[in-house]
Structure 1
């Protein structure tokens, strides 16, 4: 007899938990040049799909080298800069998107406590050997930009047959994009990758295979691990930042 396929649940935090909820885990910020020695975070998922968490850190200067994984993040609040090794500087504010691929080298300078939702991914071969630049989107582009790429939404039960998106990064760390879709009902199976996302605007629900329902609103965070089966029901056009990872290879 064939064993039943295990039900893979989604992971979810409401907007209140993401934006203002407690962060129980304390983590070292070493190495530091100056500033807050510890950050705090709340982990949503730690698996072969990726490490998905909400994180907060006070002011300071923190050199970093991405020699084990890539990082994808959405800044929720605060201010600072990220400086690549070659000198490029990006201003970090609420609603900016930042990607630090495997191979990135540079420095965080936090001037006002930063809170973010982020994903660490395991890169897959072949890995780049040279130093990689950061990838950045400013808040104006994130909140009001137009996404030129048209992607099919099949299969659908009802609603729009296409969505719009903007690919931000596509490499061994994963694929990151901005995405927007009008109301509709969309069954989905995560049989190629895990998906992690932050809802920027809009409303709807996500229903797991076992019937668990989560309310999607601006500020909520959602992870759909490899093997997840369920249904999106978008009731108000949703705009989100998402990352696809490659767990089968990354493992």
Structure 2
């Protein structure tokens, strides 16, 4: 007799302690480097067709970058510095700000105080935007506003509030990456396993995942929705 059951898709998770001060075991080169730290460190939650999802930290330095393969969505947990578009436009980076470097972006990082962040790399899907792209930046004092932050070939980023109650979640042809800003909820997988979501936690819901979100205090999140690469 054939077995038609499908194993539940796991939802990678880190609680607030792991996100803010947990070990970052993977060392990665920061080349090309103008000056500063030669390596960054990260804790990888997910690395597959859905996207690359990690907690990351790097000390001070200046790093030119060209987003010629993927888009990057970031929530800064701590640190300081700036991001500079190719045209010279500069944005100050502070804790609790949001930075999105879309596919096609060119510029440089200027880190002045160790930056720690939660971030997602996504593979863009056509139609692509032509030419060099500017970053999308949401300063700390604007993160309190719900709404779409970015929508493009790389995916969609939004700030949103999920009200108290039971909400069915089903990922089909897309993935959702979540950083919890405030509130309390329990995420229950189809196999009955549960994950408690509180401020500072982060979780990924890959393509094929389904379950229930039970919100007991309004849950405010920074979300990235991606289309998995095929």
Matching of residues 189-228 of structure 1 within 5 Å:
189-228=170-209
Q: What TM-score, normalized to structure 2?
A: 0.97
The one of 150, 155, 170 aligned to 1:174 = 155
Indicate yes or no: 2:218 matched with 1:237: yes
Question: Where does the alignment leave 5 or more consecutive residues of structure 1 unmatched?
Answer: 148-165
CA distance in 2, matches of 1:232, 1:74: 22
Q: Where does residue 54 of structure 2 map in the other structure?
A: 53
* TM, length-normalised to structure 1: 0.89
Listed one character per residue, the Cα deviations across residues 22-55 of structure 1 (whole Å, up to 9, x for unaligned) are 0000000000000000000000000100000000
SS at match of 1:186: strand
Structure 1 residue ranges (4+ consecutive) displaced by more than 4 angstroms after TM superposition: none
Pairwise mapping of residues 94-109 of structure 1 onto structure 2 (< 5 A)? 94-109=95-110
How far the C-alpha of 1:126 sits from its partner, in A, is 2.1
Q: Which residue of 2 aligns with 1:159?
A: none
Q: Give the secondary-structure state (helix, strand or coil) at the position aligned to 2:142.
A: helix
**Structure 2: which 5+ runs fail to align?**
none
The Cα shift of 1:2 comes to 7.1
Deviation of 1:107 after TM superposition, in Å, equals 0.5
Report the Cα distance in structure 1 between the residues aligned to 2:3 and 2:225, rounded to whole angstroms: 30
CA RMSD across the alignment: 1.0
Aligned ranges 1:54-203 → 2 under 5 Å? 54-142=55-143, 144-145=144-145, 147=146, 166-203=147-184
Does residue 5 of structure 2 align to residue 18 of structure 1?
Answer: no
Residue 129 of structure 1: CA displacement? 2.6
Taking the aligned partners of 2:3 and 2:130, their CA distance within structure 1 comes to: 44
